[in-house]
Amino acid sequence: MSQPIIEIKDIKRNFALGTETVYVLKGVDLTIHKGEYVALMGPSGSGKSTLMNLLGCLDTPTSGKYILNGKDVSKMKDDELADIRNKEIGFVFQTFNLLPRTTALDNVALPMIYAGKNKTERTARATEVLTQVGLETRMDHEPNQLSGGQRQRVAVARALVNYPSIILADEPTGNLDSKTSVEIMRLFDEIHANGNTVILVTHEEDIAEHAHRIIRLRDGIIESDELNPKHIK
Residues 6+ apart with CB under 8 A from 87: 115, 162, 164
From the candidate CATH numbers 3.40.50.10490, 3.40.50.300, 3.30.1330.30, 3.90.209.20, the one assigned to the domain spanning 36-60+77-231: 3.40.50.300
Beta strands in 96-205, from DSSP E residues, in sequence order = 166-170, 197-201
For the full predicted model, state whether its pTM sits above 0.85: yes
pLDDT attached to residue 114: 87
Kindly list the domain boundaries of the chain, sorted by start residue. 36-60+77-231
Give the three-state DSSP class for 35: coil
pLDDT attached to residue 1: 58
The closest of 53, 55, 77 to 8, measured between CA atoms, is: 55
- pLDDT per residue as tens, the chain (233 positions): 578 999 999 999 999 989 999 999 999 999 999 999 999 999 988 999 999 999 999 999 999 999 999 999 998 999 999 999 998 999 998 888 999 999 999 999 999 998 899 999 999 999 999 999 999 999 999 999 999 999 999 999 999 999 998 999 999 998 899 999 999 999 999 999 999 999 999 989 999 999 999 999 999 999 999 999 988 87
